Amino acid sequence: MEKEQALFIANCMENANSTNYELIKLETVSGTLPKFHQWTNGKKTLAAYDVRRPSTDTGYYFVFIDWHRNDIYYLVIYAHDKSTTVAELRQVQEIDGSPHIVWRYQPFKRDGKNDQRKAYFKQMFGSTTVQIKLPASANEVDEFYTQLFKLCQNRIKADRIVDVFDVEK
């Protein structure tokens, strides 16, 4: 996504008055997010947040970052233990006149079970491609969070589904 779009979303998040989510802004230093994770070190970071949903005791880190150092900004969502990324969102498309983040579930595990993961994700979401409307104002941030949390939870479930069920043919 463009830098201006990432800044707009971050601004909406900071100005939202959510009753369902808590937002804690993380400190950036000289436009970077030091001591957060080895994958973010030294990369331009516009903003970073700890986003929590107290009702379900879940949370993720949302980082607006120049992920590949090419002036294309991503919303990278980290697991709350910072062990890994859950989603790396960058592609924005106009859908029905509104900008949406478009993300495709593509597991890259090396166990030969990625087809089963994709099938499960498709069953959960109806498609392996997810479209989430970007907030146009602070009033739309709760729905944005709800959709991102749903994406993250379904992605984690799909990644782990082969451990839960015997999906061998």
pLDDT tens for the chain, 169 residues long, are 999 999 999 999 999 999 999 999 999 999 999 999 999 999 999 999 999 999 999 999 999 999 999 999 999 999 999 999 999 999 999 999 999 999 999 998 889 999 999 999 999 889 999 999 999 999 999 999 999 999 999 999 999 988 776 555 4
Could you give phi then psi for residue 85, rounded to 5 degrees? -85, 145
Of 22, 46, 43, the closest CA to residue 34 belongs to 43
Q: Is 139 a domain residue?
A: yes
Domain that holds residue 137: 3-164
Burial class (CB in 10 A: 0-12, 13-18, 19+), 110: exposed
CA atoms of 78 and 88, how far apart (whole Å): 9
pTM comes to 0.93
CA pair distance 1, 5, nearest whole angstrom: 7
**Cβ–Cβ < 8 Å for 9, 134:** yes
Give a yes or no: residue 67 inside a domain.
yes
Is 169 among the domain residues? no
Distances from the Cα of 47 to the Cα of 14, 95, 126, 132, 168, angstroms = 10, 26, 32, 20, 43
The amino acid at residue 167 is: V
Q: What is the CA radius of gyration of the chain?
A: 16
Number of domains in the chain: 1
Residue 105 DSSP code: -
Both tokens of residue 169?
């043919």
